[in-house]
Each structure stands twice: as structure tokens, then as C-alpha cells.
């Protein structure tokens, strides 16, 4: 497989970038963060409709499910552009939720859910972590056919706009399983503690005897879905890096101090060069991960783990240098630097800190 | 396609039979440096390659080449890596003088010099740097003054790699001291046996004598040995530099090195456990593993760009910068995996001290071919479009 994007893929990237810049610029992202929940939901619904029209919601899904049957490379392109625009949407959550449902032992579930996802009629949230963290051995939420789901899941994105939530719980044998609940079902309470990254709020969801449908065993499904989460966060990071680099370089050319643009100073130039190195490196490893996941749908985890570690760390560094090079204005609410830094930190922490991934890589590399 | 596959199979078989055993034993961990103390054997190796038809693949037969395609060249690079084959002796000649002659040389120069470069009958060295002109190469002072049919050359070149082995030097010389500094430079081919040339070896950090200082005193050089116009040298040198900084597939070998490092870490113990169980070592190892993949993907990408006809531009600076700094981290990690034994040197060290030797050598990678600082300037100015330093001031 080629390491270069094809003409069609470049076209997809350009059209995604154009669409998001026109319909969902950062000003609208800011408006969304300031809006009441009902207004947010309206804005999201409008955006979602557009995603469905573009075919983005079923990029990976087979044609018989209303999908486009494209590859993880196209999927990565769209995620990169969404990350570039910090677009608040349930895109990543739905992608991840769909990956779980599509592999359910309950074949009916995939058949029902996938076409609805592709058509834009089903928005998913994925509830994995709990208040204590995302180590599944500590999970306490439990489920049984008879008693439903009881317990609290935390750090769940996109709950307010989701139709259904895929939840990791313990079954009656203490095995970890995924179950599916309706967001509006009985016994679901949602709290929304404030989050640093306002473009991706996280929620705490408490279930009390909530009826649920079994999706499948965590051990069977998660190894296929988790790498997609890593890849997606890395892809967003690549888009974020590129955007921060562009605006920072533009600022360095324009801001004059000591009678010259600040970008004429080597201290600034070398930071910018390093930002480009990190951005291009993040891009290279992330698209490599996408191709690996495509090649071995069941075994791209190693590459996705590398991409998650490298790209999200790069994003944090690039976003931090972006603030630094902007000086005082970089510290203001008005300039966008902080929005990217906050998302970068969230992406770095979510789905395995880079240290955790490096530990996995060391093991995978035979150490 | 199948003709290419056959060609690859033949080459692979040939390499299995011909890669010298002493190289495999002692130097398999040195993907690009020629150990100076084995120079003559490396020179013989290049001759063997040449005789078998594996040098100058894309060059016309009239110049000693094989008239084959860029695809062949790529296959050759891949198979050389796969076989852990030694590098060639005339690296400077092949990577720099060949592209200069192909692009700017006269027909006569090409016929005269190219075959000898490929066969290693004539070893070449690069005469660019001077004591007062390093990163600021264009400030070079070595003069070439036309006198009849000859140039008369005076001055000195330094850090000239293989200067003691070289038969020829391609030198940047000042032909017009009145012109703007980049505009008064010529690219001149000089016979190292010419009267008036003095070569003084310099011992380097690894105790090898790789480079030297070359002194020119009234050295007469036929004017026909000027490549391009007498004031075109800067352009020629820049054309060559882009080639020098391009992707080096030899880095694919780093994957094997990482495996060897993991193996060594299991043997080495510190603080009551194997180094392989030390969390901080594991983190650094994994980071090197990740960065290897990050670099490899960019190298493969650039190979593909070249193959699909895109030119090696300033983007080659991105690779040069990352590769040189990565090499330093990797060889330091390899030595760390040896524990205390990392202090031994050459024959008394593990694997004949190859990693100590490489760690020291790797310090040069961020200096020559444009230092890391210069690469960062190039990236900032030519890729990102930031103002030239000093020139942005009003
Ligand atoms: C092992 C080895 C082999 C070599 N082989 C050859 C050869 O075969 N032929 C040949 O011609 N030359 C050769 N060189 C020379 C090499 O090209 C020079 O060393 C190099 O160009 C740097 O020049 P310099 O040593 O004078 O350092 P300087 O230019 O004096 O640099 C010293 C330091 O200042 C920094 N610096 C300089 N200018 C700037 C700037 N504008 N901005 C920021 N930092 C700056 C540099 O990055 C460096 O850190 C070799 C060097 C080595 C180490």
C-alpha cells in the first residue's frame, strides 16, 4: 500500500476542510461552548445531518448497511479535519460505539444499528471509565438481564446528544461485558462536571436498574475497538498540530518586536521547525497506523498505540509552543491557542497516557 | 515486473555469496560509516560490486553505468540493507560528484571521471570546508586564478574526509573575489597528486584518521576541470547537497538494532533486576521504537515521492535533522543497555565496541552536511517561510 494519499483522498481532505471552515469555524465552536444544552443539541443536529449527507457517518460501513465501504485512511482524514477545527460532535464516540456494536455476538444489533448510524439517525456515546479511572479491573458498575444496569460511569463524552450509550459493566459472573442502553431509559441520571476542554465536555452517568441489551464480552470486543479510539485521538492531534503550526507561523511573521518580525529570531525559528518536525512525524505514524489497521483489521493495535503515544504528546508540545510564541495574547481567552492546548491535554490523557502506551510498545517489541 | 523480480532474486543470491564475512562479524551495526582502518577492503568491495554490474545502475553504459531504472536503484538499496552489506568506499564521489557531473559536467568530463568513481579506481574527497568557512561556506577563501589554460589554486581545505586516500578532490574555489560571495565560486576537480598539494591527517574523536587538512600552494589545474561555469559552483554544490540529505534506506536496519538492544537489556542487571524490567529504560526503549517507525514512514514516503517524480527539496532537511538526532539517541540507548561494559572500547568491548564507536561517530551527524542548527534555519525559512535572520530587520 502506498504511503502517499491518492487524489481521491486529497479531494476528501480538501472538501472536509472547506466544509468545516465554512460551516463550523472556531467562532461557531466558541458559540457552541457558550450555548444552553438545547441550543447545543440543535447545532449538533444540523451538523450531524451534514455529516450524514457527506457520507462521513458510514465511511467504514459496508454498502449493505448504507456505508461507503472506505478505509481507515479516509476515516483518519475526516478525523484529522475534525480535530483541526476542534469541532464538537459525537463523531468519535459514534465511531467507537459502532465498532463495538458491529462486532456484537447479537448479529441483529449490528444489522439494526449500522444503517441507522450511516443515515445519521443514531448517535452513540461510549461509557468506559469510572470515577476512579479507566482500569477495567476496578470497574464496579454491574448488569444482569433481570436487574438491568446499576452504577456510575464517568468521563463519558457526548451523552447529551446520544440516543444510546454503550456501557462497560460487570455481569452476574463478574465478567466484563458491554451493554447497550437508551439514553432516555429509566434510571439514567446525567451530571456534567466542568471540564477544562470545553469543546469536548465529559459527563458522569448514573444508572439505577436501567434496562439494557447485551452487546458482548469486553475481552472479545475491546481489542478491536480500542485501537480505533487511539487512532482517532491521534488523527485529531495531527489536525490540531497542523492548525496550531499554521497560525503560529503566521503570527511569527507578522508580530514585530525590536524592529523585526519575531520569526526572524532563531529562538523562534527553531521552535517552529521543531513544531513542523513533530507535526509531520505525528502525521506519518498516524497514517501508518491507519494503513496497518486496514491491512490487518484485527491486528493494527501496535501501530495505533504508537500513533496515540507519539501524536498526542506531539500535540501537547506543539500547542504549548503555540502559546509561548504568541506571548501575552497567547494567554488570553480571546486567542484560540488555549482551545488547542486544552484539547491536546485531553487527548493525551484519554485512552491511555503515552507512558502506558510506551509500556505496551516495550512489551510488544519483546522487552 | 517479473524481470525486476528476477533481477532482485539474482542480486539477493549474489549478495549472499559476496558480502564479506569480516564485515558481518565486525561492522554489521554500522549502516553507513566506512571504518577508516578497513578502507582498502571497502575499496575492494566496491570494485567487486562494480565488476558484477551493481554500481551506477541508472547511469548510461558509456559512463560505466548499467542503463537501468530508478526501480532497480531502489531494489538495490533494499537488498543491500537486507544483506547488511558494507557501504561503498567512494561514497562522497558517488553521492556528490556523480550528480554534479551528470547535471553540470561536459561530455568529456563525464566520460573521463564517472567510470573511475563507480569502480573505485579513483577515490574522491569533498573540498568545501575551510578553517574560516564552515556553516558559512560561501565565505570560503581558497583562490583559483586563471593563468593560460590552467587555474592556479592557493589556499586550504579542512575536515576533508578520506583526504589521505583520495586520488581526486572536488573543491569549491573562489574565482571572482569581486562578486557577491555566492556568485564568485567555482566547482573544480583537482588531482590530489598535483605538485603543491600537502595533506595533513587529523585524528578524530574515535581515534581514526578519517579527515585531514589539505593545503594548496600554486597548484596548477587544467581549466577543463571546471564543472559548470567558473562562477556556477555554488549552484552545483546546492544541487549536490539536496542529494546528500535525501532519504537513506540504511535506516531500515535500525529495526534489527532495536531487537539487539532488547536482547542485551535482558542480560544486563542493575538495582536488583534485569534492565529489561526497569520501567524507565522500558519507556526510553519504547520511545526509540516509536521514533524509528515515525522516521521509517517518512523515509519510505520520500522514496515514493522521488519515485513518482517529485523533487528532493528543502523537505530533505526534515529527514536529515531527525535522522541525525535519532541516531545519537539510539546509539546512546544501545550503550546504556550494556551497563558498565559500555565503558570499554573497540576490541575490548561488547560486539567489538561497535556501539561505543557509533555513539561517538553519531556526534558528527549533527555537524556535517549542514548542522542541526542550520537545518532548523532552512526548515524555518524555506519550508515555513519565516524571514531570513538578519535580513528581516528594518
Ligand atoms: C566527521 C566530519 C566529516 C566532515 N567531512 C567533510 C568533508 O569531507 N568535506 C568538507 O568540505 N567538510 C567536511 N566536514 C566539515 C563540515 O561540513 C563542517 O564541520 C560543518 O559545515 C560545520 O562547520 P564548522 O565545523 O566550521 O562549524 P561552525 O560553522 O563554526 O559551527 C559551530 C557551531 O555554530 C553553529 N552555527 C553556525 N552558524 C550558525 C547559524 N547561522 N545559526 C545557528 N547556529 C550556527 C553550528 O551549528 C555549530 O553548532 C566534516 C565534518 C565532520 C565533523
Interface contact B383-A276, CB threshold 8 A: yes
Mean pLDDT along residues A246-260: 98
pLDDT of residue B9: 97
Whose alpha carbon is nearest atom 23 of ligand 1?
B134
pLDDT of residue B1: 59
The structural domain count of chain A equals 3
pLDDT tens digits for range B63-95 = 999 999 988 998 999 999 999 999 999 999 999
Taking the Cβ of residue A259 and every Cβ of chain B, the question of whether any pair is shorter than 8 Å is answered with yes
At which of A175, A193, A217 does a domain end?
A: A217
pLDDT of residue B308: 77
Distance, CA of A79 to chain centre: 8
Q: How far apart are CA B354 and CA B367, in angstroms?
A: 21
Interface contact A365-B392, CB threshold 8 A: no
**Percentage of residues in chain A having pLDDT higher than 90:** 96
Residues of chain B within CATH 1.20.140.10 domain(s) are 246-383
- Average pLDDT of chain B is 93
Is A205 inside any structural domain? Answer: yes
Cell of B293: 517507525
Distance B369 CA to ligand 1 centre (A): 8
pLDDT tens digits for range A284-329 = 999 999 999 999 876 689 999 999 999 999 999 999 999 999 999 9
Domain that holds residue A187: 124-217
| Residues A323 and A253 reside in one and the same domain | yes
Q: Which residues of B are catalytic?
A: 244
| Residues A21 and A146 reside in one and the same domain | no
pLDDT of residue A351: 97
* Choice among A102-116, B284-298, B312-326 with the minimum mean pLDDT: B312-326
pLDDT tens digits for range B303-351 = 888 777 776 667 789 999 999 999 999 999 999 999 999 999 988 999 8
CB distance B5 to ligand 1 below 6 Å:
no
The topology (CATH level 3) of B246-383 is Butyryl-CoA Dehydrogenase, subunit A; domain 3 (1.20.140)
Taking the Cβ of residue A366 and every Cβ of chain B, the question of whether any pair is shorter than 8 Å is answered with yes
| Residues A203 and A224 reside in one and the same domain | no
pLDDT of residue B313: 64
CB distance B170 to ligand 1 below 6 Å:
no
At which of A79, A97, A119 does a domain end?
A: A119
Those residues whose C-beta lies under 8 Å from the C-beta of residue B325, and which sit 6 or more positions away, are B365, B366, B372
Give the distance from residue B93's alpha carbon to the nearest chain A alpha carbon, in angstroms.
Answer: 30
Q: How far apart are CA A299 and CA B61, in angstroms?
A: 47
CB atoms within 10 A of CB A70: 20
- Average pLDDT of chain A is 96
Chain A residue whose CA is closest to B274: A367
| Residues A29 and A152 reside in one and the same domain | no
pLDDT of residue B394: 37
Give B-chain residues touching A6 at CB under 8 angstroms. none
| Residues A57 and A156 reside in one and the same domain | no
To test the pocket of ligand 1, the residue of B164, B327, B367, B374 to mutate (highest count of ligand atoms within 8 Å of its CB) is: B367
pLDDT of residue A300: 86
Distance B101 CA to ligand 1 centre (A): 25
Q: Is the pLDDT of residue B30 over 90?
A: no
Q: Which of A237, A269, A322 to mutate to test the interface with B (most CBs of B within 10 A)?
A: A269
Q: Which of B261, B384, B385, B389 to mutate to test the interface with A (most CBs of A within 10 A)?
A: B384
CATH number, domain with residue A276:
1.20.140.10
pLDDT tens digits for range B167-221 = 999 999 999 999 999 999 999 999 999 999 999 999 999 998 889 999 999 999 9
Mean pLDDT along residues B32-51: 90
The beta-carbon neighbor of B384 closest among A3, A249, A310 is A249
Interface contact A359-B385, CB threshold 8 A: no
Those residues whose C-beta lies under 8 Å from the C-beta of residue A337, and which sit 6 or more positions away, are A244, A319, A322, A323, A326, A330, A331
Interface contact B380-A270, CB threshold 8 A: yes
Cell of A194: 466542568
Distance A229 CA to ligand 1 centre (A): 45
Q: Is the pLDDT of residue B140 over 90?
A: yes
CATH number, domain with residue A47:
1.10.540.10
CB distance B366 to ligand 1 below 6 Å:
no
Q: Is the pLDDT of residue A247 over 90?
A: yes
Chain A residue whose CA is closest to B319: A277
Instruction: Using alpha carbons, select from B329, B324, B239 the residue that is nearest to residue B290.
Output: B329
- Bridge partners of B171, per DSSP, are B127, B188
Interface contact B393-A3, CB threshold 8 A: no
| Residues A259 and A351 reside in one and the same domain | yes
Q: Is the pLDDT of residue B392 over 50?
A: no
pLDDT tens digits for range A118-161 = 999 999 999 999 999 999 999 999 999 999 999 999 999 999 99
Chain B residue whose CA is closest to A356: B283
Alpha-carbon distance values, A357 to A315, B290, B294 (Å)? 16, 10, 15
Interface subset of A 301-340, CB within 8 angstroms of B: 303, 306, 309-310
Ligand 1 atom closest to the Cα of residue B161 is 8
At which of A88, A119, A150 does a domain end?
A: A119
Q: Is the pLDDT of residue B391 over 60?
A: no
**What is the ipTM score, two decimals?**
0.92
Is A2 inside any structural domain? Answer: no
CB distance B124 to ligand 1 below 6 Å:
no
pLDDT tens digits for range B105-138 = 999 999 999 999 999 999 999 999 999 999 999 9
Confidence class of residue B246 from pLDDT cuts 50, 70 and 90? Answer: low
pLDDT of residue B356: 94
To test the pocket of ligand 1, the residue of B92, B96, B159, B203 to mutate (highest count of ligand atoms within 8 Å of its CB) is: B159
Interface contact B300-A287, CB threshold 8 A: no
CA torsion through residues B161, B164, B167, B172, sign: positive
Q: Is the pLDDT of residue B54 over 60?
A: yes
| Residues A297 and A224 reside in one and the same domain | yes
Give domain B124-231's CATH number out of 2.40.110.10, 3.90.420.10, 3.30.470.30, 3.40.50.1100: 2.40.110.10
Mean pLDDT along residues B30-45: 86
Give B-chain residues touching A362 at CB under 8 angstroms. 282-283, 285-286, 289
CATH number, domain with residue A146:
2.40.110.10
Residue range B3-89, CATH number: 1.10.540.10
pLDDT of residue B393: 40
Give the distance from residue A362's alpha carbon to the nearest chain B alpha carbon, in angstroms.
Answer: 5
Taking the Cβ of residue A5 and every Cβ of chain B, the question of whether any pair is shorter than 8 Å is answered with no
Q: How far apart are CA A148 and CA A146, in angstroms?
A: 6
| Residues A151 and A188 reside in one and the same domain | yes
Amino acid at each position: 500500500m502506498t504511503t502517499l494519499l491518492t487524489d481521491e483522498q486529497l479531494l476528501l481532505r480538501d472538501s472536509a476542510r472547506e466544509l468545516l471552515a465554512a460551516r463550523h469555524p472556531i467562532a461557531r465552536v466558541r458559540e457552541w461552548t457558550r450555548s444552553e444544552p438545547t441550543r447545543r443539541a440543535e447545532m449538533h443536529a444540523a451538523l450531524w445531518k451534514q455529516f450524514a449527507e457527506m457520507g462521513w457517518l458510514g465511511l467504514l460501513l459496508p454498502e449493505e448497511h448504507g456505508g461507503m465501504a472506505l478505509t481507515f485512511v479516509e476515516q483518519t482524514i475526516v478525523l484529522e479535519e475534525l480535530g483541526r477545527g476542534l469541532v464538537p460532535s459525537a463523531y468519535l464516540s459514534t465511531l467507537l460505539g459502532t465498532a463495538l456494536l458491529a462486532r456484537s455476538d447479537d448479529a441483529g444489533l449490528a444489522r439494526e444499528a449500522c444503517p441507522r448510524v450511516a443515515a445519521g439517525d443514531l448517535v452513540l456515546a461510549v461509557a468506559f471509565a469510572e470515577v476512579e479511572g479507566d482500569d477495567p479491573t476496578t470497574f464496579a458498575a454491574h448488569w444482569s438481564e433481570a436487574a438491568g444496569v446499576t452504577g456510575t460511569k464517568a468521563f463519558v463524552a457526548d451523552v447529551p446528544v446520544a440516543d444510546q450509550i454503550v456501557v462497560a459493566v460487570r455481569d452476574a459472573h463478574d465478567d466484563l461485558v458491554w451493554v447497550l442502553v437508551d439514553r432516555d431509559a429509566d434510571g439514567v441520571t446525567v451530571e456534567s462536571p466542568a471540564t477544562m476542554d470545553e469543546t469536548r465536555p465529559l459527563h458522569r452517568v448514573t444508572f439505577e436498574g436501567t434496562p439494557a441489551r447485551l452487546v458482548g464480552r469486553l475481552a472479545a470486543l475491546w481489542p478491536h475497538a480500542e485501537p480505533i479510539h487511539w487512532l482517532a485521538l491521534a488523527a485529531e492531534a495531527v489536525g490540531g498540530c497542523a492548525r496550531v503550526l499554521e497560525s503560529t507561523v503566521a503570527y511569527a511573521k507578522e508580530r514585530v518586536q525590536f524592529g523585526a518580525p519575531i520569526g526572524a529570531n532563531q529562538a523562534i525559528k527553531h521552535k517552529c521547525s521543531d513544531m513542523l518536525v513533530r507535526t509531520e512525524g505525528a502525521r506519518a505514524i498516524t497514517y501508518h497506523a491507519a494503513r496497518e489497521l486496514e491491512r490487518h483489521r484485527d491486528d493494527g493495535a501496535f501501530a495505533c498505540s504508537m500513533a496515540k503515544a507519539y501524536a498526542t504528546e506531539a500535540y501537547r508540545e506543539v500547542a504549548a509552543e503555540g502559546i509561548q510564541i504568541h506571548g501575552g495574547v497567547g494567554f488570553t481567552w480571546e486567542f484560540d491557542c488555549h482551545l488547542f492546548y486544552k484539547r491536546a491535554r485531553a487527548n493525551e490523557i484519554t485512552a491511555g497516557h503515552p507512558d502506558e502506551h510506551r509500556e505496551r510498545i516495550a512489551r510488544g517489541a519483546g522487552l | 515486473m517479473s524481470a525486476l523480480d528476477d533481477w532482485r532474486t539474482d542480486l539477493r543470491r549474489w549478495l549472499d555469496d559476496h558480502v564479506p564475512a569480516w564485515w558481518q562479524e565486525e561492522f554489521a551495526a554500522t549502516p553507513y560509516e566506512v571504518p577508516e582502518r578497513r578502507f582498502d577492503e571497502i575499496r575492494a568491495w566496491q570494485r567487486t560490486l562494480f565488476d558484477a554490474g551493481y554500481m551506477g545502475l541508472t547511469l548510461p553504459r558509456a559512463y560505466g553505468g548499467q542503463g537501468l531504472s530508478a526501480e532497480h536503484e531502489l531494489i538495490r538499496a533494499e537488498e543491500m540493507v537486507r544483506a547488511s552489506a558494507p557501504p561503498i568506499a567512494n561514497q562522497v564521489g558517488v553521492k556528490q560528484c556523480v550528480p554534479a557531473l551528470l547535471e553540470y559536467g561536459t561530455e568529456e568530463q563525464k566520460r573521463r571521471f564517472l567510470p573511475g568513481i563507480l569502480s573505485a579506481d579513483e577515490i574522491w574527497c569533498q573540498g568545501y570546508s575551510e578553517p574560516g568557512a564552515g556553516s558559512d561556506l560561501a565565505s570560503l577563501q581558497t583562490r583559483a586564478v586563471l593563468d593560460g589554460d590552467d587555474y592556479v589554486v592557493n589556499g586550504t581545505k579542512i575536515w576533508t574526509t578520506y583526504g589521505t586516500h583520495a586520488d581526486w578532490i572536488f573543491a569549491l574555489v573562489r574565482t571572482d573575489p569581486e562578486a557577491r560571495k555566492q556568485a564568485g565560486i567555482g566547482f573544480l576537480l583537482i588531482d590530489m597528486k598535483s605538485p603543491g598539494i600537502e595533506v595533513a591527517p587529523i585524528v578524530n574523536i574515535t581515534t581514526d584518521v578519517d579527515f585531514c587538512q589539505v593545503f594548496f600552494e600554486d597548484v596548477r589545474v587544467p581549466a577543463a576541470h571546471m564543472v559548470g561555469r567558473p562562477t556556477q559552483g555554488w549552484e552545483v554544490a546546492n544541487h549536490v547537497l539536496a542529494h546528500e540529505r535525501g532519504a537513506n534506506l540504511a535506516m531500515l536496519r535500525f529495526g534489527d538494532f532495536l531487537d539487539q538492544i532488547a536482547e542485551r537489556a535482558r542480560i544486563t542487571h542493575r538495582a536488583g533486576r534485569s534492565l529489561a524490567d526497569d520501567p524507565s529504560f522500558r519507556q526510553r526503549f519504547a520511545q526509540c521504537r516509536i521514533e524509528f517507525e515515525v522516521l521509517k514512514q517518512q523515509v519510505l514516503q520520500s522514496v515514493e515521492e522521488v519515485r513518482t517524480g517529485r523533487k528532493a527539496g528543502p523537505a530533505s532537511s526534515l529527514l536529515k535533522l531527525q535522522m541525525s538526532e535519532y541516531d545519537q539517541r539510539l546509539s546512546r540507548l544501545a550503550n546504556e543497555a550494556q551497563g558498565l561494559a559500555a565503558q570499554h572500547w573497540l576490541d575490548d568491548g561488547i560486539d567489538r565496541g561497535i556501539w561505543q564507536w557509533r555513539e561517538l561517530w553519531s556526534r558528527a551527524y549533527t555537524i556535517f552536511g549542514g548542522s542541526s542548527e542550520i537545518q532548523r534555519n532552512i526548515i524555518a525559512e524555506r519550508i515555513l517561510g519565516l524571514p531570513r535572520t538578519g535580513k528581516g530587520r528594518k
